[in-house]
Structure 1
Amino acid sequence: MAELMAEEGVRAVFLTGSHARGEADAWSDLDLSVLVTEDRFARDTVSYREGRLVSVERRTVAERGRAFTEPEAALWNLEALRTARALHDPDGVFAAIQARARAFAWTEVEDQAHRHAGQLVAGMAEEVHKVVGGLHAGDGSKVGYAAAGLTFALGTAALLSTGTLVPTENRYLALAQGAWADPAWRGAYGTLAGLTDAAWPERGRAGLRAYGRAVALARWPDQALQTLAQEAASKAAAFLSA
């Protein structure tokens, strides 16, 4: 801690992650975040200290402020800011950011979130084709690669569409699976994401089903993206029913 406080450009230091939430176990790393004065001081470091893995993230106040204007940054940062514990905050800079995080309402970025969710889903049209091609050719590597892309793009789209915040990456898959209260989505996404013991062909087919449900459940401010996504979903459905 003293070492961090002595670094040039440090404005505040706060504890995040499982230790801040009171959920740490013997394998949990220690997550420290530092607010710095300039971009040139922004960097991430990971090291062992007395046998403990310590992750340090250094960001400017402006960079931290993206959590209040950019939906995906909000997904990943708001809960961390809300539950963080100040370790060094002489000027109250972190306290001001935390107060803003705790007062933040998802409605402030909701329209942007739906647009971004649509972009993510539509952007996976190529992965849908890769899954179909891989299943047709019996190519597990191709299906697996595409399934990985679908897992995170569709998962993030579900979280954005519902304003489901991520307190820790360890819960990402479960939160994405449960974001939409749709049994078909939850079943397909769980299989796609590897939350079951399904083999790769079934994960590929589940990815196609999950894509179709995401297209149906997402809101679409952009008609062109919706048309693209619906065409990809139609091709996936045709393959599944063949």
Structure 2
Amino acid sequence: MHHTLHATQVAERLAAELAPTTLGIALFGSVANGTDHPASDIDLMIAVASDPGVEVCQAEGRMAVLTRKTPADLEAAFTHPWEAPAAVPAWRYARLLHDPTGLMARLQTEARAWTWGPLATEADRWAAGELVGLAEEVHKVCGMLALDRPRAAAANRQILALQLCHPMAAANRILFDSENDLWDALADAEGPVWAQAWDKAAGVTEADHETGCRAALTLYRLAAAKLDAHLSEHDQSIVRTACDLAAKT
């Protein structure tokens, strides 16, 4: 499609400008795999020796996100359960634009050979641990409903609906090239009970405010049931208390 060709050409010109100060450049995301739309941003992953960070710029009418990481950080993404689900497919489908030392090709090869096996236990523990932090959002939703503060309850309900998805993706061993794909992939993996609750909590399907809040609390309880065995005894008490509160609301 014309917009994909244009975005790819813009990416190549950006890469040529940036190349002298980098260790490698790869095009990620929807433009790389041809699933972009005319307003899609251009995602460039840039290997640098120092000064990592993220820069957003405009190039020829397109938004470009320039993510700079050191080789060590790029490699580490494959070993972190909070990064690997997105990093692995991004590298698998990346288009390498500048690779003077072969670093980017090596990372792509590693991504294509990557499996969940070595990371499975850590992924479950990390996912379970995320529930502990999100227990606070359960208390907030319940509290704000009791105090008749709908905006505060709605904000925390959205936090639950969105932030539960990344740990649940790790628990379900889901890989996603873009967050645009995460929500549907998780709904498919968890099934209709999760999908219906998420749609109500996130506002995909019509539901009144309190129903949407209770749907978010249902999501938390579903996640807790899946991950309970991976919680420490101390963390179980926190998560179960939040679940009990959610069940009574």
TM-score by length of 2: 0.88
Alignment of 1:30 with 2:30, yes or no, is no
Percent identity over the alignment is 32
Task: Name whichever of 214-223 and 110-119 sits farther off.
Answer: 214-223
Could you give the per-residue CA deviations for residues 42-101 of structure 1, whole angstroms, max 9, x where no partner exists? 122211112121221111111111222110110221111111011111211100011101
Task: Name whichever of 132-141 and 106-115 sits farther off.
Answer: 132-141
Of residues 32, 55, 59, the one that matches 1:20 is 32
| Whole-angstrom distance in 2 between the partners of 1:93 and 1:219 | 40
SS at match of 2:165: helix
CA contact (8 A) 2:161 2:219 kept: no
Q: Which residue of 2 aligns with 1:58?
A: 68
Task: Name whichever of 69-78 and 192-201 sits farther off.
Answer: 192-201
Alignment of 1:157 with 2:167, yes or no, is yes
Alignment of 1:148 with 2:140, yes or no, is no
SS at match of 1:167: coil
Of residues 200, 212, 227, the one that matches 2:221 is 212
| Whole-angstrom distance in 1 between the partners of 2:210 and 2:78 | 40
In structure 2, give the amino acid aligned to 1:30. Answer: I
In structure 2, give the amino acid aligned to 1:71. Answer: P
Aligned residues: 234
Of residues 188, 199, 206, the one that matches 1:190 is 199
Within 5 Å, give how 1:1-242 maps onto structure 2.
1-7=15-21, 10-38=22-50, 40=51, 42-181=52-191, 183-221=192-230, 222-239=232-249
TM-score by length of 1: 0.90
Could you give the per-residue CA deviations for residues 106-145 of structure 1, whole angstroms, max 9, x where no partner exists? 1111111111111111222221111112222221111122
In structure 1, give the amino acid aligned to 2:124. Answer: H
CA contact (8 A) 1:44 1:57 kept: yes
How far is 1:194 from its partner? Answer: 2.5
| Whole-angstrom distance in 1 between the partners of 2:92 and 2:136 | 37
In structure 1, give the amino acid aligned to 2:32. Answer: A
